[in-house]
Structure 1
Amino acid sequence: MRSITSTSRKNTLRAAALVASAAMVVVGVQSGAANASADRATGGQQLTLSADQRVAAIKGAQTDAAATAAKIGLGGKEKLVVRDVIKDADGTVHTRYERTFDGLPVLGGDLVVHEAKSGKRSVDKATEADIAVPTTTPSLAPAAAKKSALSAAAEEKTAKTDTQAPRKVIWAGSGKPVLAYETVVTGVQKDGTPSKLHVITDAATGKKLFQREGVHTGTGTSTYSGKVDLTTTKSGSTFQLTDGVRGGHKTYDLNQGTSGTGTLYTDADDIWGGGRQTAGVDAHYGAATTWDFYKNVLGRSGIKNDGKGAYSRVHYGNGYVNAFWDDECFCMTYGDGENNANPLTALDVAAHEMSHGVTSATANLNYSGESGGLNEATSDIFGTATEFYANNSSDTGDYLIGEEININGDGTPLRYMDKPSKDGASKDYWSSGLGNTDVHYSSGPANHFFYLLSEGSGAKTINGVSYNSPTYNNSKITGIGRDKATKIWYKALTTYFTSTTNYKAARAGTLKATADLYGATSTEYKTVAATWTAINVK
């Protein structure tokens, strides 16, 4: 579960200015500083598959999974489980797999097999370690793993805790693979966000190996976007906020509750807005616009690329200053802000939260360390891209994150992409200790990378907003435009990133993606390499 803001900083600074870190950053789709001309896309452009074609491709890949495992040198006890298949215009097929060992899931063992039309094959793995453990019989009882997980939740100050039964897994996310338990502790985080804390415990020693949070935090008249068109469904004599054009997405009013789906919004005359409806209008519009962005710009049909819609819940809790995505309910949830005065339903927030779902369905970047920062940055990037794509005069595209919701109480945005450190906590550049930083702040260098790649370094004004982006090495970067930068990041996320991708691997993945799309000798490729160097990723 990913929230839009950082709990720790919000609690520390709320008394002064309600300052919260943003789990929600923005990226644009229109051409940027370089005013990119028509894409010189090569055969690396992804093909759009229908839902039936995608199902058939996954089924076919699963049929061949045993042979593929042997071809790439996996051990006899290892098996591959297909998660997704992507096909490029040049005939290259990218198949994303999870891995099992002796029937147990291997966490951090995911991989992507790339096979060219010629039969040439390459593999990107979350770990290069051999998956092998001496036994799959734990010496530690499940009760000990549960105790360790509850202790981890207590350190996070999670309230109202409950646990699922620990399950045996192979932990391969870091170091030598070991037999472990995964325990999920449910509860409530300090700021009121639901918690689903995944804790990995060594099945021999009881040592905690890893933990991650599973809840991702971030015509009608709307609060932030003015008058907008809504796709609704008539049922009897009333209209519902059900979008039959976009996978059946529904929008519900939780009425300050914190569980269930709430009440589906209905209206007698299909003219929405005012009172409790307004937040619903914003959420419904945000979901539709994000769907259209992914489909029309990136060729993706819904969060899972299967044509199925999620759902939105608004008016969550009382004075809840956050928004979050939850994989289990496959839904976005929005609070009403301090004193229930500013619902967190702005467009870039909606797109940010839905994009957490896209990351989960593709690379599934671990929500911890450097990969967690890249997870947050991905939502920031596509949230911004969606805002530019919408081209809404009431909420113009910019590189400011959450600027409409005034969560700081002083009119400042949550985060800044041109110079992330302007928020007081985010990092501008990569450093060796970045992985120890809260993921809402370790996203800063990736957000900075995206801004520089899109717009370039130095001072400039875009849509009335002034920016001045520095570089680590004082180099000058000339941007290639937001459209190309967006497509490069999406290609890398869906094709080359894995659950453990860090900043160094992100550099490699985006360079591969750029070579696929524009060629390895292109200006775009050289600029991507120079931009990573400009944020100290070499």
Structure 2
Amino acid sequence: MSPTPHRRSTAIGALIAAAAMLAVGIQAGTATADATASSATKAVQANPGAAPKALSASERATLLAGANATTAQAAKALGLGGKEKLIVRDVVQDADGTTHTTYERTYDGLPVLGGDLTVHAKGGVTKSVTKATNHEIKVADTSAAVTPSAAERTAFSALSASGGKDAKAEQGARKVIWAAEGAPVLAYETVVGGVQSDGVTPSKLHVVTDARTGAKITEWQAIEKGIGNTEYSGQVTLGSSQSGSNYTLTDASRGNHKTYDLNGGSSGTGTLFTGPDDTWGNGSPSNRETAGADAAYGAQLTWDYYKNVHGRNGLRNDGVAPYSRVHYGNAYVNAFWDDGCFCMTYGDGTGNNHPLTSIDVAAHEMTHGLTSVTGNMTYSGEPGGLNEATSDIMAANVEFTANNPNDVGDYLVGEKIDINGDGTPLRYMDKPSKDGGSKDAWYSGIGNIDVHYSSGPANHVFYLMSEGSGAKVINGVSYNSPTSDNLPVTAIGREAAAKIWFRALTTGLFKSNTNYAAARTATLQAAADLYGANSVTYNNVANAWAGINVGARPPASGVSVTPIANQTTQVNTAVSLQVQATSTNPGALSYAATGLPAGLSINASTGLISGTATTAGTSNVTVTVTDSASKTGTTSFTWTVGTSQQNVFENTNDYQIADNATVESPIAVTRTGNAPSTLKVDVNIVHTYVGDLKVDLVAPDGSVYNLRNRTGGSADNIVQSFTVNASSEVAQGTWKLRVADLASLDTGYINSWKLTF
């Protein structure tokens, strides 16, 4: 099935695919140690400014209000068409003030499915834009040849064909623009209620039909099938509230999360758990409070994880909690998230004796709610697999962070609830194929299988990031993770892997139609933001993706030196230039340089070039960096020392260049008169496959001077000087280096640039 956008207004998510109830093999291996491998691998936080800022509800409201007040200006700045409008969906902020504003789009008043985009900005300057589609949103007209009732009949037929029944229009056919794949078309979207093929799970089937031909374009079931009291976690402390002489399962310290008893029903909220004391359940499923306590515990652990580890104040970052419902239906062997009620719902399992309320199941369902308000990956095709895996990934992190001795952290999904009746978990993250249906690696047809199985490669890549490949024992569980290219993967540690995945999810790098290739790009961008492009962490993330057959590995070993632009300084002027380099080998680096102008030297331990130039002239400089394995990397550049003071203006801040996005780096020039006819523009851009890039100089009045237009083919990096006749331009004002990435797969950043007048 093709990737499609998941509409969060009616989304439901459940943990278990029907096929997942088949028996699977018991995991092999002897549990002999309690060591956690990832605890030994600590990635250094190279850029704490990229960490998420913990926003209060009022701070978030202020950001949203500001974004909502400027949607027209934002649309104009993005070059959107006159019929397009932006609707703010979310705003998050980094510690350094960078904001990530995610918008939905309308066209001539119609919702655009697959039109979501995110603007990444700092200090009022747009650094990059991430879009779900790069097609122009435009259709010939918005008059439909097919009636809404005909579109609804097609949608009802789709539910029937899938084995569902009791079809009803949860949302009647509404006219939309379908832009999730290919050129945009006028379409209808219908949401069909009823029940799915199991006769119990509610249906929220989204069906998109062509408004001109009536043909079905795509469909997706917004049932993200997924999986806390102390039946599973022992005796724990729960957040509750006292009301008069009674207590309720209302957690006032965590957004007023409430836990309800559905009493076997399938709608409404049921009855809030209330009792004369503050003790809930007895550890047995025969006590109705037990499942309620498990669900409440799982919800509070998940809330605490997102707030304490990632600085997110509730799923929507607004301080408001969802609620939980237990005892759904009769012997219902599933659990799900529903956007419509903003709630988690849990069945009691086989014989009503195995409630689906363990820590990882509760965290899985609650994470579906987080995904629906952030990345919002459609619950079908490859985006659906990534959506489902994100819930597994974050659930594992919640479980490890909880450190509950009765339910220790592991990379197994639903191991406590014994859904198959044979002691096996639902899914295995180290080798997903052990469940009998999930896939270990990506292949071209993976979008055509159930999302619970297409999630396998994403679960696998997260495990490889966290723990690396090969055999190991973690918290008493044996793992042995393979790679599709049969090469080893070195762990970056679970904490770093979680921060990278969370950033990709919540800052607009994951979109509604993100597939596996795009997810690799997004997580590498997040790794670059947090730990530096081409850092050891970054490269090991790339290696993990290669381990599931997505993308290539960086060079196997050696030193990478960041290119240095040609330098211009003046006699008797102090110099400070930091050489930046990384190696795939552990240990310290040493630095050396030849050809430095007189008076300058390089620190062999730190790579800092400093001193005061004493003699005019131009030198050819080569810097050599050597690692602990005697591998070397070099970079060369010229260094001109002048005798007269020139006006040099420079921006050394990094600006990330995402796929199919445009970024600008500004320089404020304070100089009277016009610019010269020989304006010198020195550019240092780090980017693989420079043939993707169009590079322009933008004058203060908006005039554009093209420097490069997708030349250079597969070469890496642009370190080049350009001469521009800018004599018609007033020098004073803000000049910009504009870089447009016009193709997929390769990314990078503007390292620095400068203007010499």
TM interval, shorter chain, is: over 0.9
Deviation at 1:69, TM superposition (A): 1.1
Once structures 1 and 2 are overlaid, which stretch shifts more, 342-351 or 83-92?
83-92
Amino acid at match of 1:5: I
Measure, in 2, the Cα distance between the counterparts of 1:184 and 1:355: 23
Once structures 1 and 2 are overlaid, which stretch shifts more, 35-44 or 52-61?
35-44
8 Å CA contact retained: 1:31, 1:483: no
Which structure would you say has the larger Rg?
Answer: 2
1:197 matched to 2:208: no
Give the aligned partner of residue 25 of structure 1: none
8 Å CA contact retained: 2:38, 2:467: yes
Give the aligned partner of residue 99 of structure 2: 93
| Candidates 186, 195, 199, aligned match of 2:193 | 186
Normalised by the length of structure 1, the TM-score is: 0.95
Cα deviations by residue, 1:77-100 (Å, 9 ceiling, x for unpaired):
001111111222233221100000
8 Å CA contact retained: 1:4, 1:324: yes
Deviation at 1:7, TM superposition (A): 2.5
Deviation at 1:34, TM superposition (A): 4.3
| Candidates 508, 516, 524, aligned match of 2:529 | 516
| Candidates 68, 83, 86, aligned match of 2:89 | 83
1:331 matched to 2:343: yes
Once structures 1 and 2 are overlaid, which stretch shifts more, 350-359 or 271-280?
271-280
Measure, in 1, the Cα distance between the counterparts of 2:223 and 2:250: 24
Give the aligned partner of residue 22 of structure 1: none
* Residues matched between the structures, number: 522
Amino acid at match of 2:353: A
Deviation at 1:118, TM superposition (A): 7.2
Cα deviations by residue, 1:114-169 (Å, 9 ceiling, x for unpaired):
12337243111111111001111111001110010001100111122211321111
Query: Cα distance 1:419–1:303, how it changes in 2: closer, same or farther (>3 A)?
Result: same
Measure, in 1, the Cα distance between the counterparts of 2:418 and 2:205: 29
8 Å CA contact retained: 2:43, 2:492: no
Give the aligned partner of residue 597 of structure 2: none
1:169 matched to 2:176: yes
8 Å CA contact retained: 1:186, 1:195: yes
8 Å CA contact retained: 1:34, 1:478: no
Measure, in 2, the Cα distance between the counterparts of 1:408 and 1:9: 8
1:345 matched to 2:357: yes
1:322 matched to 2:334: yes
| Candidates 480, 490, 499, aligned match of 2:512 | 499
Measure, in 1, the Cα distance between the counterparts of 2:130 and 2:497: 22
Give the aligned partner of residue 231 of structure 1: 239
Amino acid at match of 2:46: R
Give the aligned partner of residue 66 of structure 1: 72
Give the aligned partner of residue 159 of structure 1: 165
Structure 2 alignment gaps of length 5 or more: 1-11, 26-35, 552-757
Cα deviations by residue, 1:352-404 (Å, 9 ceiling, x for unpaired):
00000000000110001000000000000001000001000000000011000
1:292 matched to 2:317: no
Query: Cα distance 1:239–1:34, how it changes in 2: closer, same or farther (>3 A)?
Result: same
1:47 matched to 2:49: no
8 Å CA contact retained: 1:238, 1:268: yes
Give the aligned partner of residue 629 of structure 2: none
1:465 matched to 2:477: yes
Amino acid at match of 2:532: G
Deviation at 1:37, TM superposition (A): 5.3
Deviation at 1:498, TM superposition (A): 0.6
Greater fraction strand? 2
8 Å CA contact retained: 2:24, 2:424: no
Amino acid at match of 2:186: L
CA RMSD of aligned residues (A): 1.5
Give the aligned partner of residue 117 of structure 2: 111
Could you list the structure 1 runs, at least 4 aligned residues long, displaced by more than 6 angstroms after superposition.
Answer: none
Measure, in 2, the Cα distance between the counterparts of 1:474 and 1:247: 47
Give the aligned partner of residue 134 of structure 1: 140
Structure 1 alignment gaps of length 5 or more: 20-29
Measure, in 1, the Cα distance between the counterparts of 2:481 and 2:39: 13
Amino acid at match of 1:180: A
| Candidates 253, 267, 283, aligned match of 2:261 | 253
Name the % identity: 60
| Candidates 434, 445, 455, aligned match of 1:443 | 455
Measure, in 2, the Cα distance between the counterparts of 1:469 and 1:8: 24
8 Å CA contact retained: 1:34, 1:455: no
Measure, in 2, the Cα distance between the counterparts of 1:100 and 1:520: 35
Give the aligned partner of residue 273 of structure 1: 281
Give the aligned partner of residue 542 of structure 2: 529
The answer to which structure, 1 or 2, has the higher relative contact order (CA under 8 A, 6+ apart) is 1
Measure, in 2, the Cα distance between the counterparts of 1:2 and 1:269: 33
Measure, in 2, the Cα distance between the counterparts of 1:112 and 1:216: 24
